[in-house]
């Protein structure tokens, strides 16, 4: 399949809609000032073919996309025991995050809601320097140096009272081992990683390659683990729109409020789209449209 012309066609199709609808995340200044009329798309196939178009090399804030890589580190380091404190079921809706923590004794529904990512982060903090390890993982995966946007991390910390509530609440159930402040600091830094579509399409490559590192050939996750990550992305990866994504896009996806979405076509390719203006669900408006166009034109849905 010729992907470069297809990605260019998608960019052209969406061009008239750039900046026309949706809202850029506004809860911290560093995100609020990102210009809305931007769109990028990039993919990398299992065998290393690449294509990208639009603002595909502009770096943006990973935000919740970092949960995908934190989970990868957690599965690699902790193995099955990771699931002692984290579920694998969709959470239903945002309203539930606290209710469910209450009724389910501080065990978050899955690793892609904030509470779940905080629980993963806590496990990482117990093992190593989890900030450095995240940068190291991402750098080797995409082949470029990767860093934190320290302004974003600081802003997240100064406004992240809800995450502080979640972490303290889990700690009250004995589900967080480390100091809450330390866990939050690492979590906010992970959210503040900045990468481009192209870098992310490369970095997620192991998810369509049975867990094998695209460059080094190292077994990052087992094949079974990689497929499970894909399953979690499909059922839980896009906030409260997982059903809608499965219905309309039909691919495992992980989105972030920075406007990025990483998608996986199992055994075939990984894909990243980015556009800062969001739908009310917190997912990139044009990103979602781009993924629908992509699966409609290629037939590459898992369903």
Of 34, 32, 53, the closest CA to residue 42 belongs to 53
d(CA 270, CA 212): 13
Residue 58 Cβ vs a second copy, minimum distance, rounded to whole Å: 30
Q: Is residue 221 within 8 Å of 73, Cβ to Cβ?
A: no
d(CA 41, CA 51): 8
Q: Concatenate the DSSP letters of all residues of 148-213 into one string.
A: E-HHHHHHHHHH-HHHHHHHHHHHHTT---S-HHHHHHHHHHHHTEEE-HHHHHHHTGGGGTTTB-
Q: What is the set of active-site residues?
A: 64, 67, 187, 239, 257
Residue 103 Cβ vs a second copy, minimum distance, rounded to whole Å: 7
Residue 180 Cβ vs a second copy, minimum distance, rounded to whole Å: 7
Among 9, 84, 89, 177, binds a second copy (CB under 8 A): 89
Of 113, 105, 67, the closest CA to residue 88 belongs to 113
Determine, following the binding rule CB under 8 A, whether residue 99 of this chain makes contact with a second copy.
yes
# binding residues, a second copy (CB under 8 A) = 47
The first and second tokens of residue 42, run together, are 């990039």
Q: In this chain, which stretch among 4-12, 72-80, 192-200, 233-241 interacts with a second copy, using CB under 8 A?
A: 233-241
Determine, following the binding rule CB under 8 A, whether residue 102 of this chain makes contact with a second copy.
yes
The first and second tokens of residue 41, run together, are 């798309």
d(CA 121, CA 130): 8
For a second copy, which is the closer residue by CB, 115 or 277? 115
Determine, following the binding rule CB under 8 A, whether residue 155 of this chain makes contact with a second copy.
no
Determine, following the binding rule CB under 8 A, whether residue 46 of this chain makes contact with a second copy.
no
Determine, following the binding rule CB under 8 A, whether residue 108 of this chain makes contact with a second copy.
no
DSSP-assigned beta bridge partners for residue 61: 194
Residue 292 Cβ vs a second copy, minimum distance, rounded to whole Å: 11
DSSP-assigned beta bridge partners for residue 44: 50, 270
Residue 214 Cβ vs a second copy, minimum distance, rounded to whole Å: 18
Among 34, 135, 154, 164, binds a second copy (CB under 8 A): 164
For a second copy, which is the closer residue by CB, 68 or 193? 68
For a second copy, which is the closer residue by CB, 34 or 302? 302
Determine, following the binding rule CB under 8 A, whether residue 242 of this chain makes contact with a second copy.
yes
Determine, following the binding rule CB under 8 A, whether residue 121 of this chain makes contact with a second copy.
no
DSSP-assigned beta bridge partners for residue 254: 262
Q: In this chain, which stretch among 42-50, 121-129, 130-138, 166-174 interacts with a second copy, using CB under 8 A?
A: 166-174
3-state helix, strand, coil in the chain (%, to 5): 50, 15, 35
Residue 55 Cβ vs a second copy, minimum distance, rounded to whole Å: 30
Of 148, 85, 81, the closest CA to residue 115 belongs to 85
Determine, following the binding rule CB under 8 A, whether residue 300 of this chain makes contact with a second copy.
no
d(CA 169, CA 247): 34
Determine, following the binding rule CB under 8 A, whether residue 154 of this chain makes contact with a second copy.
no
Determine, following the binding rule CB under 8 A, whether residue 227 of this chain makes contact with a second copy.
yes
d(CA 71, CA 130): 12
**Binding-site ranges for a second copy (CB under 8 A):** 87-93, 95-96, 98-100, 102-103, 109-110, 161-162, 164-166, 168-169, 171-172, 180, 227-228, 230-232, 234-236, 240-244, 246-247, 250, 252, 266, 301-303
């Amino acid at each position: 399949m010729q992907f470069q012309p297809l990605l260019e066609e998608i960019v052209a199709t969406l061009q008239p809609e750039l900046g026309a609808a949706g809202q850029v995340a506004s809860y911290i200044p560093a995100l609020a000032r990102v210009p809305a009329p931007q769109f990028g798309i990039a993919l990398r196939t299992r065998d290393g073919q690449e294509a990208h178009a639009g603002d595909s090399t502009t770096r943006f804030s990973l935000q919740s996309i970092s949960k995908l890589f934190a989970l990868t580190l957690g599965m690699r380091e902790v193995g099955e025991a990771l699931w002692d404190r984290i579920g694998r079921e969709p959470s239903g809706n945002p309203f539930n995050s606290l209710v469910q923590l209450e009724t389910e004794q501080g065990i978050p529904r899955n690793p892609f809601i904030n509470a779940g990512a905080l629980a993963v982060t806590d496990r990482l903090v117990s093992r190593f320097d989890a900030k450095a390890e995240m940068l190291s993982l991402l750098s080797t995966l995409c082949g470029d140096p990767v860093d934190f946007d320290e302004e974003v991390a600081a802003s997240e910390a100064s406004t992240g009272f809800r995450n502080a509530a979640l972490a303290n609440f889990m700690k009250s159930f004995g589900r967080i081992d480390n100091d809450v402040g330390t866990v939050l600091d690492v979590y906010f830094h992970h959210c503040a990683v900045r990468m481009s579509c192209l870098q992310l399409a490369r970095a997620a490559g192991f998810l369509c390659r049975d867990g094998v590192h695209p460059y080094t050939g190292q077994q990052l996750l087992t094949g079974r683990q990689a497929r499970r990550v894909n399953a979690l992305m499909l059922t839980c990866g896009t906030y409260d729109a997982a059903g809608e994504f499965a219905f309309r896009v039909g691919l495992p996806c992980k989105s972030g409020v920075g406007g990025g979405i990483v998608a996986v076509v199992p055994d075939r390719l990984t894909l990243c789209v980015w556009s800062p203006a969001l739908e009310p669900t917190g997912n990139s408006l044009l990103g979602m449209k781009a993924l629908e166009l992509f699966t409609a034109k290629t037939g590459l849905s898992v369903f």
